[in-house]
Amino acid sequence: MIGITSYGAHIPRLRLNRMSVFQAMGWFAPATIMVAQGERSLCNHDEDSLTMAVAAARDCLIGKDKKTVDGLYLCSTTLPFADRQNSGILATALNLRAEMITADFTSSQRAGTTGLLTALEVAQGGSRKNILVAAADKRETKPASFYEMWFGDGAAALLVGDQNVIAEFIGSYTVSYDFVDHYRGAKREFDYTWEERWLREEGYSKFIPEAVNGLFKKLNITMDDVQKLVFPCIFKAEHIALARKMGAGPGKIVDQMHDVCGETGVAHPLLMMISALESTKAGDGILVAGFGQGCDALYFKVTEEILKMKPRSGVRGSLENKKTIDNYLKFLKFRNLIQPEMGIRGEAPTQTAMTTLWRNRKMITGLVGGKCRDCQTPQYPKLNICVNPECGHIDTQDDYEFADRPARVKSFTGDLLAVSVDPPAIYGMVQFDDGGRFMADFTDCELADLKVGLPVRMVFRRRFTDEERGFSGYFWKAIPEIGGQVALPEIRFDKRVAIVTGAGGGLGRRYALELARRGARVVVNDFGGARDGAGEGSGTAADRVVEEIRSLKGEAIANYDNVATPEGGERIVKMALEYFGGVDILINNAGIIRDKSFLNMEPENWQAVIAVHLNGAYNVTRPAFSVMRERGYGRIIMTTSAAGLYGNFGQTNYSAAKLGLVGLMNTIKIEGAKYNIKVNTIAPMAVSRLTDDLMPPEMAQRMQPDYVSGMVLYLCSENCNESGDIFNAGAGYYSRAAIMTGAGATLGDGQTIPAPEDIRDNWVQINSLENAREITDAASAITSFLLPPSPEAKNGESAAKTADVKGIFAKMPQAFDPAAAVGKDVVFQFSISGSGGGDWIVAVKDGTCRIETGKAEKPTTTIIMADEDFVKLITGELEGMAAYTSGKLKVEGDLMKSQLIGKLFKLKN
């Protein structure tokens, strides 16, 4: 049995509301109102007949073995090359084998059905078994013409073969005449059309019935054997009238999709046939007639195999996936029918070296990369050497097709300066789920649709047109699955080396297990003493955790050193270097308690606690810091406690040690900043050996160490840009704690020394925390004490010295002007680098504003600056445009909206 074995379709996502054409051109062509209903499909600026054919053919090949395809016919009257086989490009894009026949069918609206018929007859002859037939058209029309309304763009593909036939080919009948209702002269862009009545009365009305009746006679069937009658006809009323004349009732007539798509030229009879197949059942007869210089009529019988078709986009899916536009000028520009100024960048040379294209045809046209035979790492482009640094093997790359692999957005940007037919140019990094990544353009989307982590699919699109040489260049782009499930990459620690002190139990064990589960190689340190630190120590606790990690296929090594001695600290770090080759993460967690009220706190208990907590952190951090500095990367965690931050009866030793760790962090933060060493402090709350007698059992369930480890791991990750901050974590509650400094008061004139009475008399102001702020380092503290916000500071010069980034965002709500924000809906993302920086979201909506730290999902505009420059900008020391042009200020997303910031917030003093 010979027939259709698969189908696929592509109708571009964009639809033009026909009324928008009339609204723009009705003054000139009032009669177009008669055909201004519904919408027509239109190619995006990077689509043409070839790219649409690739999309339809890929849809058709779903679930099919590409290697069995031994013929490929491409049918179109709008092919990008007059002399370069277009079906050859299609075959390369699809990565079909070279040992097959490729051919272009063109020059008539009937080319689609003729291509299909030829494929069926070749298969019947037995010389070829599986022939893919793709048909596509993107016909140009003169503005404000009826044809502009009637036509649409689209592509269809059918696979012909003898296995798993879904519609058996029964027979055909063709009449050929040199009948000219329209023609397109060589090198002409538009059709020359004769009277519509001529096409209707002498064309459609004569040749379609002649071919259909000829077929009936030849096969000895009647219209009763036809359940789906497929024939395109641009005149809606004529379509139905003609079908009736041939004996087909309304139930049999397959809709010609005028209202939703328009007529897609050569592709149309095949698209309509696919639409018929989508709603058919086994045993139905389908008659397809393709008109154009005569008519082809083909008859098929649907088989049970139709039920086994794998899900695909098809016509139905293509029609559902749409975006309707009203912008007629956009339609004209996308079709190159108007030529707005593209700027000098638009003149960049685009000549393609045919030598390079030939050598890299698989890579460029087929999106074929490599996969290492030894370590299975995929990479694009394919190179002689494996990219995996742990493999690096030479000549181990096999071809690896990327086009159908699942992928996600890793990063993106909207570039208003890059030349683009549809600015902003949107591009970024695409990460393939199974490995491999590369920079790609995003298409069929708006900037606001994109999110990091959104799934994307790769599509073959036109990358550029070399107008001078008449060459269209193609490459692959990514389409985001708009509204799809965002999967932000898991926080991983692959190849990172972590030291966790006191990891034999409690919180430390949890951190070690979770770090290892996420790929880190962990040094599990635990001295193994009693809760108060007494005893000789034991390796059991650390060994047990290491065993646990290894049983989960993680990597860890046990260390039993005492953090309280400098030698112990040195040995822990040495072990990390010897076994794992570095230190990237250090969690200072080891701890003991020796609680006594202050007067009973003998020096021995005082010193023992200080020795483990404060000296312990110093002893391990110092050698670790040295390694991190060398490697230019480090994440350090100190462990404080509510007792240290706020005080607790009976814990003077512990409180002092714990707040001492905050002091240690404050300075390491400054010394480590330029080496990308970030240090933060955690104040945990969890049940453990240290706290189990303090916590009521009902609280214990919610106080598991897991509730703390998420925060600690985040602070240890590459994602974390914070440094020098303190975070409370426990029982699902997380918050930042900080040392705040009040606005205070400057007393006296600088000559006389303020007396106690002056202090008393200004106590309210001195004691107030109103307008309190954080100070990032001692130097800023001194300047801000000596130069508090005074009239002189306010008028400019020294304001930048006294302000800091966090303070600016803290003050923003007061600086907000609700009146200026009426009707506004914008989200500004501030990404401020440097030790005083961080990420802030400023969301303004209908007269209200919300300011918080973190990263917005879909910011309107992202402002990227260094902390010092940002302070200067806000305090007026740095002018906005100068900052932008010098590169100190980078803006991503909607550049214009960034200008709103100055209007919405009165920040300058």
| By the rule CB under 6 A, 522 interacts with ligand NAD | no
Please identify, among the stretches 28-36, 516-524, 587-595, 749-757, the one whose residues bind ligand NAD according to the rule CB under 6 A.
Answer: 587-595
Q: Which is nearer to ligand NAD, 579 or 675 (CB)?
A: 579
| By the rule CB under 6 A, 109 interacts with ligand NAD | no
Residues 524, 247: Cα–Cα separation, whole Å: 84
Q: Which is nearer to ligand NAD, 257 or 685 (CB)?
A: 685
Q: Which is nearer to ligand NAD, 435 or 705 (CB)?
A: 705
Contact between 70 and 128 (Cβ < 8 Å): yes
| By the rule CB under 6 A, 639 interacts with ligand NAD | yes
Please identify, among the stretches 34-42, 223-231, 583-591, 743-751, the one whose residues bind ligand NAD according to the rule CB under 6 A.
Answer: 583-591
Binding mask 597-636 for ligand NAD (x = CB under 6 A): ---------------x---x--------------------
What is the distance of C-alpha 625 from the center of its chain?
35
CA dihedral of residues 441, 447, 448, 453 (deg, nearest 10): 20
Determine the length of the chain: 909
Q: Which is nearer to ligand NAD, 695 or 856 (CB)?
A: 695
Q: What is 1-23 written as a DSSP string?
A: --EEEEEEEE--SEEEEHHHHHH
Contact between 51 and 462 (Cβ < 8 Å): yes
In the block, tokens 């690739």 appear at: 54
| By the rule CB under 6 A, 72 interacts with ligand NAD | no
Shortest Å distance, C-beta 536 to ligand NAD:
12
| By the rule CB under 6 A, 655 interacts with ligand NAD | no
Please identify, among the stretches 30-38, 144-152, 282-290, 589-597, the one whose residues bind ligand NAD according to the rule CB under 6 A.
Answer: 589-597
Q: Which is nearer to ligand NAD, 272 or 708 (CB)?
A: 708
Residues 170, 285: Cα–Cα separation, whole Å: 10
Residue 636: how many CB atoms within 10 A of its CB?
A: 29
If we measure between CA atoms, which residue out of 218, 139, 239 comes closest to residue 174?
218
If we measure between CA atoms, which residue out of 469, 477, 485 comes closest to residue 422?
477
Helices (H), 850-892: 867-874, 880-885
| By the rule CB under 6 A, 651 interacts with ligand NAD | no
Contact between 770 and 745 (Cβ < 8 Å): no
Shortest Å distance, C-beta 678 to ligand NAD:
20
| By the rule CB under 6 A, 558 interacts with ligand NAD | no
Residues 536, 2: Cα–Cα separation, whole Å: 85
Q: Which is nearer to ligand NAD, 473 or 566 (CB)?
A: 566
| By the rule CB under 6 A, 507 interacts with ligand NAD | yes
Contact between 413 and 428 (Cβ < 8 Å): yes
- Residues 6 or more apart whose CB falls under 8 angstroms from that of 385 comprise 392, 393, 394
Q: What are phi and psi of 289, to 5 degrees?
A: -120, 125
Reported as half-sphere exposure (CB side, CA atoms, 13 A), residue 788 has a value of 12
Residues 706, 700: Cα–Cα separation, whole Å: 12
| By the rule CB under 6 A, 562 interacts with ligand NAD | yes
Residues 146, 138: Cα–Cα separation, whole Å: 16
Residues 250, 244: Cα–Cα separation, whole Å: 8
Count residues near ligand NAD (CB under 6 A).
33
Residues 269, 428, 529, 660: which binds ligand NAD (CB under 6 A)? 529
Q: Which is nearer to ligand NAD, 537 or 880 (CB)?
A: 537
Shortest Å distance, C-beta 698 to ligand NAD:
16
Shortest Å distance, C-beta 454 to ligand NAD:
39
| By the rule CB under 6 A, 525 interacts with ligand NAD | yes
Shortest Å distance, C-beta 566 to ligand NAD:
12
Shortest Å distance, C-beta 666 to ligand NAD:
18
Pairing of strands 455-466, 471-480: antiparallel
Site for ligand NAD in 305-364 (CB under 6 A): none
Shortest Å distance, C-beta 764 to ligand NAD:
35
Contact between 829 and 862 (Cβ < 8 Å): yes
| By the rule CB under 6 A, 511 interacts with ligand NAD | no
- Amino acid sitting at position 77: T
Residues 688, 776, 798, 875: which binds ligand NAD (CB under 6 A)? 688
| By the rule CB under 6 A, 506 interacts with ligand NAD | yes
Q: Which is nearer to ligand NAD, 102 or 651 (CB)?
A: 651
| By the rule CB under 6 A, 564 interacts with ligand NAD | yes
> Beta-strand (E) ranges in 255-311?
285-291, 294-302
Site for ligand NAD in 761-820 (CB under 6 A): none
Shortest Å distance, C-beta 683 to ligand NAD:
6
Shortest Å distance, C-beta 503 to ligand NAD:
7
- Residues 6 or more apart whose CB falls under 8 angstroms from that of 808 comprise 870, 871, 874, 907
Residues 645, 656: Cα–Cα separation, whole Å: 9
| By the rule CB under 6 A, 690 interacts with ligand NAD | yes
Q: Which is nearer to ligand NAD, 531 or 811 (CB)?
A: 531
The token pair that represents 220 in the structure block: 């000895």
The token pair that represents 896 in the structure block: 């214009």
Residues 88, 154, 684, 744: which binds ligand NAD (CB under 6 A)? 684
| By the rule CB under 6 A, 590 interacts with ligand NAD | yes
Residues 6, 92, 172, 589: which binds ligand NAD (CB under 6 A)? 589
Q: Which is nearer to ligand NAD, 159 or 690 (CB)?
A: 690
Q: Which is nearer to ligand NAD, 215 or 690 (CB)?
A: 690
- Residues 6 or more apart whose CB falls under 8 angstroms from that of 861 comprise 826, 827, 828, 829, 891, 892, 893, 894, 895, 897, 898
- Amino acid sitting at position 33: I
Shortest Å distance, C-beta 502 to ligand NAD:
2
Shortest Å distance, C-beta 853 to ligand NAD:
24
Q: Which residues pair with 842 in a beta bridge?
A: 828, 851
Q: What are phi and psi of 462, to 5 degrees?
A: -75, 130
Q: At what angle do helices 111-125 and 268-278 cross, to 10 degrees?
A: 70
Q: Which are the catalytic amino acids?
A: 654
Residues 166, 300: Cα–Cα separation, whole Å: 9
| By the rule CB under 6 A, 665 interacts with ligand NAD | no
Shortest Å distance, C-beta 876 to ligand NAD:
44
Residues 267, 650: Cα–Cα separation, whole Å: 85
Residues 528, 569, 660, 837: which binds ligand NAD (CB under 6 A)? 528
Q: Which is nearer to ligand NAD, 737 or 747 (CB)?
A: 737
| By the rule CB under 6 A, 505 interacts with ligand NAD | yes
Residues 679, 587: Cα–Cα separation, whole Å: 10
Please identify, among the stretches 28-36, 335-343, 409-417, 559-567, the one whose residues bind ligand NAD according to the rule CB under 6 A.
Answer: 559-567
Residues 269, 369, 533, 838: which binds ligand NAD (CB under 6 A)? 533
Residues that bind ligand NAD (CB under 6 A): 501-502, 504-508, 525-529, 531, 533, 541, 562-564, 589-592, 612, 616, 639, 641, 684-686, 688-691
